[in-house]
């Protein structure tokens, strides 16, 4: 059963400076003020009532939790202690910077009922981190993860492909180094140009070229596949759509799409279909596709894009796409007059740097900036 999370956005609280890409007020639609103890308890009660759950998770997002003064950390965590004891709150999660987390801070979080910490890693390449003005290095991430794991705290890592200086190679290397730390989950947010940031100024000056939507989908399908092979769940790809985020003038450029994850999943499905179809195809007769019921939309693609591409690029027609509850989540079956072929997105696809260069344009040669 999916957990109900009660979110509190403390935008920029504790952050020693603003990184070039960050404007939490516009992204989260919050000014970051600390909620009062009464507001915390009331919001928990409201979420429990609406969800019908006995217990909910509480999350503090948007700031660097372990960088805010300890008395403020206590003020936020103290109202939750009785709720944890009663089972009304099942766990607490926070987000923070890798360089603001040491053994003492991890011990304090554990003693206060914090079960999950998300680290804003962004990249594991020090050159990219320096250009993003993060103020920490990859070694800080490794130390922070070790401190958290020593306390038995679950660790999530956030990555941002497409930052200034990032390449497909450095992005893959960053993911590999992140996976080597054995996090409990990942979030992958392709870099967007948000109004009011230093990155927006660079973009306006012509000193930064964001990924196009097509490039971001190609990068992220391969990153997602590497994570799947490692058995590390990617809980989100692309920013959560909000009214503030989608308001005019907020996102100036970059690969934003409200259903970015589905675009990525659909690309993985298409790549598997492209591999399976030659074994079954007789272009004079249509094919039928089967997948897990929850995967039908990904196999078909947004606005039937995968079905149309199969006709356009491979000359095959699809008679039907049907759900089969016996199939695993990542499996697809193609059936045609020449036979039946079953494949797995995880087991039967392979992506490399060479794949990327063969399927996408070299960014250094791209003359136009694509706006999402």
The b/e string for 205-228 (b: 16+ C-beta within 10 A; e otherwise) is eeebbbbbbebbbbbbbbbbbbbb
What pLDDT digit, counting tens, does each position of 162-216 carry?
999 999 999 999 999 999 999 999 999 999 999 999 999 999 999 999 999 999 9
Any domain includes 246: no
pLDDT at 225: 97
Any domain includes 363: no
Last residue of a domain, one of 132, 153, 174: 153
On whether both 2 and 140 belong to a single domain, the answer is yes
| Owner of token pair 């791209």 | 366
Any domain includes 278: yes
CATH number at residue 325: 3.40.30
The two counts, helices (H) then strands (E), for the chain are 14, 13
DSSP string, 242-302: -TTTTSTTSEEEB---TTHHHHHHHHHHHHHHHHHGGGT--TTS-EEEEE-GGGHHHHH-G
SS3 41: helix
SS3 303: helix
Last residue of a domain, one of 95, 121, 153: 153
pLDDT at 23: 77
CATH number at residue 5: 3.20.20.70
| Closest C-alpha among 138, 129, 187 to residue 158 | 187
Alpha-carbon distance 307 to 311, whole Å? 7
On whether both 15 and 142 belong to a single domain, the answer is yes
Residue 350 CB contacts under 8 Å (≥ 6 apart), including other chains:
none
Any domain includes 73: yes
Any domain includes 220: no
Residue 159 contacts residue 174 (beta carbons within 8 Å): yes
Alpha-carbon distance 115 to 153, whole Å? 5
Range of the domain at 286: 265-348
Any domain includes 89: yes
Any domain includes 275: yes
Q: Tens-digit pLDDT profile for the chain (372 aa)?
A: 578 999 999 877 877 777 899 876 666 555 568 999 999 999 999 999 998 888 899 999 988 999 999 999 999 999 999 999 999 999 999 999 999 999 999 999 999 999 999 999 999 999 999 999 999 999 999 999 999 999 999 999 999 999 999 999 999 999 999 999 999 999 999 999 999 999 999 999 999 999 999 999 999 999 999 999 999 999 999 998 888 788 888 999 999 999 999 999 999 999 999 999 887 666 678 899 999 999 999 999 999 999 999 999 888 889 999 999 999 999 999 998 778 999 999 999 998 765 555 444 334 333 332 332
Tell how strand 5-9 and strand 56-61 pair up. Answer: parallel
On whether both 132 and 273 belong to a single domain, the answer is no
How many domains are contained in the chain?
A: 2
Last residue of a domain, one of 93, 124, 153: 153
pLDDT at 290: 97
Residue 44 contacts residue 83 (beta carbons within 8 Å): yes
Tokens found for residue 230: 């490692």
pLDDT at 30: 56
Q: What is the pTM of this model?
A: 0.89
């Amino acid at each position: 059963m999916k957990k109900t999370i009660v979110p509190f956005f403390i935008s920029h609280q504790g952050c020693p400076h603003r990184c070039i890409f960050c404007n939490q007020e516009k992204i989260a639609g919050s000014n970051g003020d600390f909620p009062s103890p009464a507001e915390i308890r009331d919001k928990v009660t409201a979420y429990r009532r609406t969800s019908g759950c006995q217990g909910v998770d509480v999350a503090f997002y948007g700031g660097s939790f372990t960088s805010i003064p300890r008395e403020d950390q206590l003020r936020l965590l103290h109202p939750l202690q009785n709720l944890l004891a009663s089972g009304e709150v099942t766990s607490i999660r926070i987000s923070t910077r890798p360089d603001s987390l040491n053994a003492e801070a991890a011990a304090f979080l554990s003693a206060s009922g914090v079960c999950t910490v998300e680290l804003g890693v962004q990249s594991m390449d020090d050159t990219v981190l320096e250009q993003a003005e993060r103020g920490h290095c990859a070694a800080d991430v490794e130390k922070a993860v070790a401190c958290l794991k020593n306390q038995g705290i679950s660790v999530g890592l956030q990555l941002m492909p497409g930052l200034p200086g990032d390449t497909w190679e450095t992005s893959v290397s960053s993911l590999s180094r992140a996976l080597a730390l054995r996090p409990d989950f990942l979030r992958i947010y392709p870099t967007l140009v948000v109004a009011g940031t230093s990155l927006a100024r660079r973009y306006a000056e012509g000193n930064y070229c964001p990924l196009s939507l097509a490039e971001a989908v190609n990068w992220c399908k391969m990153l997602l596949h590497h994570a799947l092979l490692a058995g590390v769940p990617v809980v989100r790809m692309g920013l959560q759509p909000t009214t503030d985020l989608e308001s005019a003038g907020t996102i100036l450029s970059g690969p934003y799409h409200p259903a970015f994850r589905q675009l990525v999943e659909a690309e993985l499905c298409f790549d598997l279909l492209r591999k399976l179809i030659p074994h079954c195809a007789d272009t004079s007769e249509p094919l039928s596709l089967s997948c897990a019921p929850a995967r039908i939309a990904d196999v078909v693609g947004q606005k039937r894009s995968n079905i149309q591409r199969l006709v356009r690029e491979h000359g095959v027609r699809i008679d039907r796409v049907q759900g089969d509850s016996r199939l695993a989540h990542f499996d697809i079956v193609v059936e045609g007059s020449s036979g039946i072929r079953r494949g797995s997105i995880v087991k039967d696809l392979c992506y490399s740097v060479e794949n990327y260069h063969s399927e996408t344009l070299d960014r250094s040669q791209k003359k136009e900036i694509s706006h999402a």
